[in-house]
Amino acid sequence: MGRKAGRTLDDRRAEWSARWDEVKPAPFRLAREVVPGLFQVRTRGSRCYLVVEDEITLIDTGNPGSGERILAALKGLGRTPDDIARILITHYHIDHVGGLPEIQKFAPEKTGVHVAEAAHLESDAPLPNPFQHPLLAKVIQPYLLRNDPGRARVDEILRDGDELPALGGLRIVHTPGHTAGHISLYFPNRGVLLVGDSMQYKFGRLMLPSRLFSEDMVEAGASIQKMAQLEFETLVFSHFRPILGGADRRAREFARLLAVQAAG
């Protein structure tokens, strides 16, 4: 069978790419559904999330250069940047806000962040260095300066307890420690808590956020105690696989362990 006349190699590549997009298994897709309506997108060095309803809420934007991947994930879901109603940022670190200026070019919708983080995003100065150890901060500083995403726009200041109309109701939970203005996102009607970087989940265990990048470990522990009072089945992270059942029980056990360690 001969090739169709007039077809270029680029035409054929585009055709095969489109066919693969139609049939690719879930592990190969840019957007993976965690719970109905909440999709995880692997960005550069992190994960962002899409709440997909009539309108879309984008949570975090990955490292610089992640915008293209987020837009491709939207396309794969049959949606466009025009469907994004709001962008929520958990905290100012570059692996969470690096793609924000890129996305804002295509989706000039409301961007919300805690008041303690807002100045970092809107400043013309580079983002603060997240490394807490002075030597490591000095070593990584040239890389951060080369890759700084630049100024982004903040449209809405988020506060503890604020509620937004996403996935049956979204509540802002201020969870400082990793950064002063870190927020987690609680979906009580769906039993989901998205914790950003306020906790780690490694080797099957919940852990405090990394000391390398966290500003106040005492505050981080207090935030875990606060989150452990909520009810949720699913716990979702920015760098680790989710816990899909009995997550609040495990969070309470972790909080009790931290309390015992602090008392001892």
pLDDT one-digit tens code per residue, 121-138? 999 999 999 999 999 999
What pLDDT does residue 4 have?
Answer: 52
| Percentage of the chain modeled with pLDDT above 90 | 84
- Identify whether the C-beta of residue 211 lies closer than 8 Å to the C-beta of residue 217: yes
Residue-number span of the structural domain to which 46 is assigned: 24-263
Weakest-pLDDT range from 14-18, 185-189, 250-254: 14-18
What pLDDT does residue 214 have?
Answer: 97
Q: What confidence category does residue 45 fall into, taking pLDDT thresholds of 50, 70 and 90?
A: confident
Position 1 pLDDT exceeds 70:
no
CATH label of the domain that carries residue 66: 3.60.15.10
Q: pLDDT tens digits for 161-209?
A: 999 999 999 999 999 999 999 999 999 999 999 999 999 999 999 999 9
Cα–chain-centroid distance for residue 237?
Answer: 8
What is the domain count for the chain? 1
**The whole model's pTM is what?**
0.87
Residue 220 forms part of a structural domain: yes
Between β-strands 192-194 and 234-236, what pairing exists: parallel, antiparallel or unpaired? parallel
Residue 162 forms part of a structural domain: yes
Residue 228 forms part of a structural domain: yes
Higher pLDDT, 27 or 6: 6
Residue 17 forms part of a structural domain: no
Q: What angle do CA 116, 113, 93 make, to 5 degrees?
A: 75
- Identify whether the C-beta of residue 233 lies closer than 8 Å to the C-beta of residue 245: yes
Position 28 pLDDT exceeds 90:
no
Residue 5 forms part of a structural domain: no
Answer positive or negative: Cα dihedral of 253, 256, 258, 264: negative
What pLDDT does residue 30 have?
Answer: 85
Residue 3 forms part of a structural domain: no
Residue 33 forms part of a structural domain: yes
Q: What is the C-alpha end-to-end distance of the chain, expressed in Å? A: 77
What pLDDT does residue 5 have?
Answer: 55
What pLDDT does residue 171 have?
Answer: 98
Residue 6 forms part of a structural domain: no
